[in-house]
A and B are shown apart, each in its own frame.
Chain A
Amino acid sequence: MKILRLSLVSASRHLEEFLTKLKAEISSSKNVKELTNRLATTIEKEIRRRPTSAALINTSRRLLEKAYELMEVGLDIDEVRAGLVQEIDDLMREYRAALEVAACIASKRILNGDRVITISFSLGVLQAIKKAIENGKKFEVVVLESRPGSEGIELAKTLASMGVPTTLIVDSAARYHMKQATRVLIGSEAVAANGAVVNKVGTSLLALAANEARVRVFVIAPTQKFSFETIHGELIEIPTINPSLFVPQDLAEIGVKGYAPLFDVTPPEYIDAIATERGFIAPQAVPFLLRELYGSWPPRVPELSELEMKLKEVLHRA
């Protein structure tokens, strides 16, 4: 799995972009067959580009379920289109609200005098910091540059413009600065069934250094980020950047290879708590939270391919 873009957008922002694109695709579909095809291809393409994003997969699942539900009732294009557009708007609103609540909960753990370390550019982290400022907290933030995409530079600039004393450091200096840090706050790409957190590469190293220095690590993850696939033992695939974007050409010519994964996995034992819209939980309590949300364990969640099949069957019957 090779990705051709160096810099990575926040999973939350990525989801919004995806939903906006999908809305346009759906709105311009002329019949249900075209709509189903476009829906399936756009989802498939996007998941292939970012297979780690649980929010992307979960949202896609909701949309496919909705499409099936609507098409079972009738195949009138206007109705299906309207229903799906409505669902996209609902999903967007729900997601934003969940992120907002999770960030708000996390912000309570930012205290006066804190020095918070973070990595990459997480919308959730940014919101938590904004909230803490609104609540009158005075603190500093140390941002890791976050190679290879260097998204940390953007976050550092944003925070400095917001009035937060911000320090930018290279990724290698994380442990060096950990002794003076009071907290680590990170976003997430996905949360696995065992509470492991997938996030921008370097996160697990940061969490390890925090654990060594007994600095607490908090993750912001609305429940849309929980990966249902991992409950059934599925491994989350980590995409890598095309080495040509990362290895200088003169080195590539003499045979130097490159390996630049976009994400890594932080084990639950290095995470103190995950802030969700349903509250602050220990990472190991993920199954409990999912049972609360879905009423059963394991939650009855269909696979995407299964849903696509069902959709096609409905079309056939027509």
Chain B
Amino acid sequence: MHELPERVLKIGEDIKSMRIRGAGRIARAAAEALAIAAEEFRGKNPDEFVRYLSSIGRYLTATRPTAVSLPNAVSYVLSRVHNALRSGASLEELQHITISTSKQFIEYSLAAVERIGKIGARRIENGDTVLTHCNSSAAISIIAHAYKQGKTMRVFATETRPKFQGYITARQLAKEGIDVTLIPDSAVRLVMKRVDKVVVGADAVTANGAVINKVGTSQIALAAKEARVRVFVAAETYKFSPVTVLGELVVIEERDPSEVLNLEILRQYTLLKIRNPAFDVTPPSYIDAIVTELGVIPPQAAIMILKDFFGWAIQEYESRGFEESEPSA
């Protein structure tokens, strides 16, 4: 058994601690980690390499349990490596394939965010007030593209407790020159009357079109529905979860209580506990459309994306059996 290269461990740690965050970014980081692992492999034979790379894949996917982009990025690379091994590739060829498919994934991912921006921006009208939650590259891409097309708009960015990712969003939008206003998460329903569109990202999209995203998204979508405000979800296709086709539930990550309350304080009260789910599930009925790099789809058509683009992955998971289908958290 080979040890995990230090640079790979560092990426894993950064994903876990959220120094690297956002479903797109962590997927790209995982692909990069696999390429690094291939470069730094010092073993001698192809089988050993694939076992080594698979164990690194498992390590990476276990860093964050909810974001499906992570296992999808790993599968994207690993499935190609497995295929090459089966057709008798040499160690050198396998290393090369790992590095080139990782690069391919990263490039695809960046292009997808750009493309989503262009497509989604068409849904933003001049003078719109847009509300966004947390910090999503794909959602920001839509808002920034619309602004670059000359549409004037105003953005409400939720501060997004507990980690205040809304600050990052506000900074990014303000730097583009966009009129942005921070609001507390609790003020979402109050401002919804003045909002024209909600644009959010996704950490995972399930087989039935439910969207898993930063906790709070589902109540924003609920308040939008109540106020008849349209909700758009920006999601690259690698955020669609193949295992959900087989009935698997997406695991909602519960993060450390210290993100919500100082542990010193918490220890003083034995009966006080913190629940800190990082994500929630927005039902498809509260979502008007999902903007992917391939086009806009109604959430209920998620299965089409999954069958078309992850047919191989679904088969793979199926052949591996249910026990192994979801990386352990």
Residues of A within 8 A of B (CB): 119, 142, 144-148, 153, 156-157, 159-161, 163-177, 200-202, 204-205, 208-209, 212, 238, 243, 246-248, 250-251, 254-261, 264-265
Task: Identify A251's interface contact among B174, B184, B276, CB under 8 A.
Answer: B174
Considering the chains assembled together, what is the distance between the CA atoms of A169 and B280 in angstroms? 13
Pick out which of these stretches binds chain A: B3-11, B82-90, B158-166, B321-329.
Answer: B158-166
B66 to chain A minimum Cβ distance, whole angstroms, is 13
Residues on the A chain within 8 Å of B272, using CB: 156-157, 159-160, 166-168
Q: Which label, helix, strand, loop or mixed, suits the secondary structure of the B interface?
A: mixed
Given contacts A147-B161, A208-B222, contact A169 B275 (CB under 8 A): yes
Given contacts A157-B269, A259-B191, contact A171 B186 (CB under 8 A): yes
Residues on the B chain within 8 Å of A170, using CB: 161-162, 185, 215-216, 260, 276
Considering the chains assembled together, what is the distance between the CA atoms of A251 and B179 in angstroms? 12
Closest to A177 in B: B275
On whether the beta carbons of B182 and A259 are closer than 8 Å, the reply is yes
On whether the beta carbons of B181 and A257 are closer than 8 Å, the reply is yes
Task: Identify A202's interface contact among B186, B260, B261, B280, CB under 8 A.
Answer: B186
Residues on the A chain within 8 Å of B276, using CB: 169-170, 173
Q: Judge if B248 is at the interface, Cβ distance under 8 Å.
A: no
Given contacts A147-B161, A251-B167, contact A172 B187 (CB under 8 A): no
Considering the chains assembled together, what is the distance between the CA atoms of A265 and B261 in angstroms? 28
On whether the beta carbons of B171 and A251 are closer than 8 Å, the reply is yes
Given contacts A153-B261, A208-B189, contact A172 B271 (CB under 8 A): no
On whether the beta carbons of A205 and B174 are closer than 8 Å, the reply is no
Closest to B269 in A: A160
Considering the chains assembled together, what is the distance between the CA atoms of A212 and B189 in angstroms? 14
Closest to B270 in A: A160
Closest to A202 in B: B186
B268 to chain A minimum Cβ distance, whole angstroms, is 8
Considering the chains assembled together, what is the distance between the CA atoms of A36 and B43 in angstroms? 92
B272 to chain A minimum Cβ distance, whole angstroms, is 4
B129 to chain A minimum Cβ distance, whole angstroms, is 12
Residues on the B chain within 8 Å of A172, using CB: 158, 160-161, 185, 214-216, 219, 280
Given contacts A148-B184, A171-B161, A176-B215, contact A209 B222 (CB under 8 A): yes
Residues on the B chain within 8 Å of A264, using CB: 187, 189-190
On whether the beta carbons of A247 and B190 are closer than 8 Å, the reply is no
CB-contacts of B264-287 with A (<8 A): 265, 268-277, 280
Q: Judge if B223 is at the interface, Cβ distance under 8 Å.
A: yes
B155 to chain A minimum Cβ distance, whole angstroms, is 10
A6 to chain B minimum Cβ distance, whole angstroms, is 11
The contact string, 1 if C-beta is below 8 Å from chain A, for chain B 187-202, is 1111100000000000
CB-contacts of B192-237 with A (<8 A): 214-216, 218-219, 222-223, 226
Between A and B, how many residue pairs show CB distances below 8 Å?
A: 157
Residues on the B chain within 8 Å of A250, using CB: 171
Residues on the A chain within 8 Å of B185, using CB: 147, 170-172, 202
Task: Identify A254's interface contact among B174, B190, B274, CB under 8 A.
Answer: B174
List the 10 shortest-distance A-B pairs measured between CB atoms, nearest first: A172-B216, A202-B186, A160-B272, A160-B269, A175-B219, A205-B189, A160-B271, A170-B161, A171-B186, A257-B181
Q: Judge if B29 is at the interface, Cβ distance under 8 Å.
A: no
Considering the chains assembled together, what is the distance between the CA atoms of A172 and B161 in angstroms? 7
Closest to B169 in A: A256
Q: Judge if B180 is at the interface, Cβ distance under 8 Å.
A: yes
Considering the chains assembled together, what is the distance between the CA atoms of A119 and B271 in angstroms? 18
Task: Identify A256's interface contact among B181, B190, B219, B275, CB under 8 A.
Answer: B181
On whether the beta carbons of B271 and A251 are closer than 8 Å, the reply is no
On whether the beta carbons of A260 and B215 are closer than 8 Å, the reply is no
Closest to B218 in A: A175
A207 to chain B minimum Cβ distance, whole angstroms, is 9
B221 to chain A minimum Cβ distance, whole angstroms, is 9
Residues on the A chain within 8 Å of B275, using CB: 142, 167-169, 173, 177
Residues on the A chain within 8 Å of B110, using CB: none
Q: Judge if B297 is at the interface, Cβ distance under 8 Å.
A: no
Q: Judge if B44 is at the interface, Cβ distance under 8 Å.
A: no
Given contacts A147-B185, A172-B161, contact A257 B273 (CB under 8 A): no
Considering the chains assembled together, what is the distance between the CA atoms of A246 and B159 in angstroms? 10
Task: Identify B277's interface contact among A176, A212, A258, CB under 8 A.
Answer: A176
Which one of A148, A173, A177 has the greatest number of beta carbons of chain B within 10 Å?
A: A173
On whether the beta carbons of A256 and B280 are closer than 8 Å, the reply is no
Closest to A250 in B: B171
Residues on the A chain within 8 Å of B187, using CB: 201-202, 259-261, 264
Given contacts A168-B272, A261-B187, contact A205 B161 (CB under 8 A): no
A13 to chain B minimum Cβ distance, whole angstroms, is 20
On whether the beta carbons of A147 and B184 are closer than 8 Å, the reply is yes
A23 to chain B minimum Cβ distance, whole angstroms, is 35
Q: Judge if B305 is at the interface, Cβ distance under 8 Å.
A: no
Considering the chains assembled together, what is the distance between the CA atoms of A208 and B220 in angstroms? 11
A156 to chain B minimum Cβ distance, whole angstroms, is 6
Taking A171-B216, A172-B185, A200-B186 as given, write out 15 further A-B residue pairs in contact, using a Cβ cutoff of 8 Å, ordered by the A residue number.
A147-B184, A148-B184, A157-B265, A157-B268, A160-B269, A166-B272, A168-B274, A169-B275, A170-B216, A172-B215, A172-B216, A175-B218, A204-B190, A212-B222, A257-B179
